[in-house]
Structure 1
């Protein structure tokens, strides 16, 4: 069953029971991603990792020429 089909079934049940309709799929995606990002940032501090710029730093290390390599 797809997400859309489940949503339509839940909406139908809610209407029949007189309950409020559930939120549409994808309604709270931004909030979930923001909470996940904040949680990762929080966990980085006690672990002693930098909070900002971790991806850029890793990419810079990966793309930068290594000493002694022929390029």
Structure 2
């Protein structure tokens, strides 16, 4: 059963019982992403690491400055 079919079934059952309809799939996706990001930053602070810009700094260290060609 797909997510959409499950949602429609849940909505039908809620209507039959006079309850509020469940939220549509994907309604709270961005909220979950924000909470995950905040939790990751919090864990970084607890571990005494920089909370922001870690990926960019890691990529810069990994890739390093590229030497320019002299052609």
Range into which the TM-score falls when normalised by the shorter chain: 0.7 to 0.9
Aligned-residue offset at 1:58: 1.1
Tell me the number of residue pairs that the alignment of Structure 1 and Structure 2 aligns. 66
Structure 1: where are the runs of 5+ without partners? 67-71
- Trace 1:1-71 onto structure 2 (pairs within 5 A): 1-64=1-64
1:27-70 CA distance string (max 9 Å, x none): 0111111111111111111101110100101111121159xxxx
Structure 2: state its 5+ residue gaps.
67-71
Q: Normalised by the size of structure 2, how large is the TM-score?
A: 0.86
Find the aligned partners of 2:14 and 2:26 in 1 and give their Cα distance: 19
TM-score by length of 1: 0.86
